[in-house]
Amino acid sequence: MSENKKTIFRGAATALITPFRDGGVDYASLERILESQIEKGINALVICGTTGEPATLDDDEHRRVLDFCIAKVDRRVPVIAGTGSNSTQYAKELTLFAKRAGADAALLVTPYYNKCSQSGIVKHFNEIADASDLPLILYNVPSRTGFCISADSYKALAKHPNIVAVKEASGHIPLMLEVLAECGDDLDVYSGDDHLLVPLMSMGAIGVISVLSNVIPAETAEMARLCLEGRTKEAADMQLRYHRLMNAMFTQVNPIPVKTAMSMMGWCRNEFRMPLCPMEPQENEKLASMLADYGLI
């Protein structure tokens, strides 16, 4: 990373679930989860990312969840606020709120539904980055947004001093390698896919923003630590050991399986915001069996 940019974290960050109870945010369970994540050695926390169901949080809830988590974590690990939107103005306002609340960085997904052109994505992110000095992590996940940041757009965005990293969840390995090769001095790269934790870190990524670490934070952090220490074979052995559990977290759209798993482990209720809904009984049985196999319930 160039001297004028700051690395937010190295290792594993949890894309945290948002627990609900009786239709509202369950702050008591959220605090318990935060404390457990920190105790078990997670390197950073992403609040109101995709796994946190921000699309169905209203504006006040979104801001209150960010405020609550930032205050409770109290600088013990970096807190990264999910502030992305398909409205540039709203994303800018939410990013400014995160800055005032004390977030260490913001995670910004590419615009969805209305999408944009490649020149539009550069303008979108640069305008948000111009609004404050809060470090920004770009989030490329075309399976959800229908839009993929190109290598040329990454190169242009890497020039902005406040754009410091990318969560790469495109699944497009050649693109990820080009970003590492061409932008590695100006953009930290995080795997946005648990399945690519070891492969991408072996090529130079410095961490993962993980769904799996909701369920096994210590083990996910250990995999990332081994990669950072160059102990790739040991990390790969761990990833293969947990491969079935990783698969189980994505049998349905995220965060349905991981939140269901967390409820089975006693961390929260199995409650979602529509249109997300609980899994069918037979799917619950399969997931419970998987968690039992790993000694998690």
Whether the pLDDT of residue 3 is over 80: the answer is no
Whether the pLDDT of residue 286 is over 90: the answer is yes
CA distances from 110 to 26, 92, 127, 297 (A): 28, 13, 13, 37
Q: Tell me, what's the pLDDT at 5?
A: 85
DSSP 265-278: TTSS-S---TT--P
Task: Mark whether 233 is an active-site residue.
Answer: no
Beta bridge partners of 79: 45
d(CA 218, CA 194): 14
Positive or negative, the Cα torsion across 50, 269, 279, 260? positive
Q: Domain residue spans in the chain?
A: 11-230
CB distance 198 to 239 below 8 Å: yes
d(CA 179, CA 168): 10
Task: Mark whether 139 is an active-site residue.
Answer: yes
Q: What is the DSSP letter of 185?
A: T
Quickly count helices (H) and strands (E) in the chain: 13, 10
Angle CA 5–136–4, to nearest 5: 10
Q: How confident is the model at residue 2 (pLDDT cuts 50, 70, 90)?
A: low
Digit-coded pLDDT (tens) for 243-258: 999 999 999 999 999 9
Q: Tell me, what's the pLDDT at 197?
A: 97
Among 5, 92, 139, 259, the one annotated catalytic: 139
Q: Tell me, what's the pLDDT at 1?
A: 67
Which structure tokens are listed for 46?
A: 């992403």
To the nearest 10 degrees (0 to 180), the angle between helices 281-293 and 256-264 is 60
d(CA 226, CA 42): 14
Would you give the distance in Å from CA 203 to the centre of its chain? 20
d(CA 264, CA 293): 13
Q: Tell me, what's the pLDDT at 25?
A: 97
In 3D space, the residue among 175, 178, 204 whose CA is nearest the CA of residue 190 turns out to be: 204
Average pLDDT, the chain: 96
Query: Can you tell me which residue has the tokens 């490649």?
Result: 118
d(CA 213, CA 207): 12
d(CA 241, CA 219): 11
How large a percentage of the chain has pLDDT more than 90? Answer: 97
Which structure tokens are listed for 273?
A: 């915001």
- Residue 128 amino acid letter: I
Whether the pLDDT of residue 117 is over 90: the answer is yes
What's the whole-number mean pLDDT along residues 252-274?
Answer: 97
d(CA 81, CA 236): 30
* CATH number, span 11-230: 3.20.20.70
Q: Tell me, what's the pLDDT at 254?
A: 95
Among 5, 92, 99, 167, the one annotated catalytic: 167
Digit-coded pLDDT (tens) for 154-204: 999 999 999 999 999 999 999 999 999 999 899 999 999 999 999 999 999
Neighbouring C-beta atoms of residue 125, cutoff 10 Å: 25
Q: Specify the range with the lowest mean pLDDT, choosing from 45-49, 71-75, 184-188.
A: 184-188
In 3D space, the residue among 153, 230, 158, 168 whose CA is nearest the CA of residue 198 turns out to be: 230
First to last CA, the chain: 41
